[in-house]
Copies of this chain bind each other. A is one copy, B any other.
Amino acid sequence: MVGTRRGREATPAEFALLGLLALSDDRRHGYDLSREFQAGGALADVIRLEPGMLYHHLKRLEGRGWAEATREPIPNRPPRQSYTVTAFGAEALDRWLREPVAHTREVRLEFLVKLYLAHLRGPGLAGRLVAEQREILSGLAASLRDQGERLGRGTFPAAVNALRLAQTDAALAWIDGLEQPTRT
């Protein structure tokens, strides 16, 4: 994401980390979490997270009271910081997982992260998310179609609108064809 969060509580990267923390029963530390974002990890193809930013985000989650850290000194190693989600953090995560994204361009990253985490948290959550996202996209497509009729054809603004509509329809078709992923 670029610039300010504009009302959003946190970035998709932060929610991804929060979600991973929430999914595991025991505490997890940064190096451990970083494996999920390396080649082969499930989220590697969706969101890119270098170690530097990962540790930065963990600090921010802690600062916001969404995660708690325990310092374990380890001989001959930098002390390990292990994190767990707080009740406050779990609430924020669930709120986020219930909220579909507002724009087609956010499907590619933010919605995919939500989908991944929602599915792991429970099939019902994922199903509701998908249904609500479908509604949003369907509304966007309808208003783009209206706009398209007003714009006609052959002009640049009409081409811009047509691209947006094509992308939105494609996302809709994709979401309709989604099977409940059973394996990860």
Contact = CB atoms under 8 A, between A and B. Distances in A.
Interface size class of A (residues with CB under 8 A): 35 or more
B112 A160 contact: yes
Contacts of A140: none
A153 B1 CA distance: 29
Contact of A167 (B42, B108, B181): B108
Contacts of A183: 154-155
Contacts of A171: 163, 166-167
Interface string A168-184: 01110110011111111
A148 to B, nearest CB: 12
Interface string A115-151: 1100100000000000000000000000000000000
A65 interface: no
Interface string A1-18: 110000000000000000
A174 B162 contact: yes
A134 to B, nearest CB: 14
22 contacts: A2-B2, A107-B163, A108-B163, A108-B164, A115-B156, A119-B156, A154-B180, A154-B182, A154-B183, A155-B181, A155-B184, A158-B181, A159-B178, A159-B181, A162-B174, A162-B177, A166-B170, A166-B171, A166-B173, A167-B170, A169-B170, A170-B170
